[in-house]
Amino acid sequence: MTAAIAQKRCASAGFTLLEALIAMALMGIIMGALATVTAQWLPNWNRGLVRVQRNEQVAIALDRLVGDVSAAAFVSPNRQIKQPLFVGTELGVTFVRSALGPNTGPGLEIVRIAETGDSQGRVLVRMRAPFAPLAISNPSLDQIRFADPVVLLRAPLHVTFSYAGSDGVWSPTWQASGGLPAAVRFIARDATAERVLAVSSATRVHVDMAPPDPQEEAPAADSPTNAPDQPQAPARGRRDR
Domain-embedded: residue 228: no
Q: Of 26-30, 194-198, 230-234, which has the strongest mean pLDDT?
A: 26-30
Q: What is the pLDDT of residues 92-105, one digit of tens each?
A: 999 999 987 766 77
Q: Look up the domain containing 190 and give its range.
A: 57-212
Q: For residue 181, what pLDDT is reported?
A: 92
Q: For residue 136, what pLDDT is reported?
A: 83
Domain-embedded: residue 84: yes
Residue 55 CA to residue 200 CA, distance in Å, equals 10
Residue 148 CA to residue 197 CA, distance in Å, equals 28
User: pLDDT averaged over the chain?
Assistant: 77
The domain total for the chain is 1
Q: For residue 217, what pLDDT is reported?
A: 41
> What percent of the chain lies above the pLDDT cut of 90?
23
Residue 186 CA to residue 93 CA, distance in Å, equals 11
Domain-embedded: residue 218: no
Which is higher by pLDDT, 204 or 44? 204
What is the model's pTM?
Answer: 0.65
Tabulate helix, strand, coil % of the chain (nearest 5).
Answer: 30, 25, 45
User: What is the number of alpha carbons within 13 Å of residue 225 lying toward its C-beta?
Assistant: 3
Q: For residue 229, what pLDDT is reported?
A: 45
pLDDT band at 5 (very low <50, low <70, confident <90, very high): low
Domain-embedded: residue 51: no
Q: For residue 14, what pLDDT is reported?
A: 61
pLDDT band at 36 (very low <50, low <70, confident <90, very high): confident
> Which one-letter amino acid corresponds to residue 189?
R
> Which one-letter amino acid corresponds to residue 6?
A
Domain-embedded: residue 142: yes
User: What is the number of alpha carbons within 13 Å of residue 109 lying toward its C-beta?
Assistant: 23
Q: Where are the beta strands (DSSP E) in the chain?
A: 86-88, 92-98, 108-118, 121-130, 147-154, 157-164, 170-171, 183-190, 195-196, 201-204
Domain-embedded: residue 16: no
Domain-embedded: residue 17: no
User: What is the number of alpha carbons within 13 Å of residue 58 lying toward its C-beta?
Assistant: 23
Q: What is the pLDDT of residues 129-184, one digit of tens each?
A: 999 888 888 878 888 899 989 999 888 888 999 999 888 899 999 986 778 999 99
Domain-embedded: residue 199: yes
Angle formed at CA 186 by CA 185 and CA 191, multiple of 5 degrees: 145
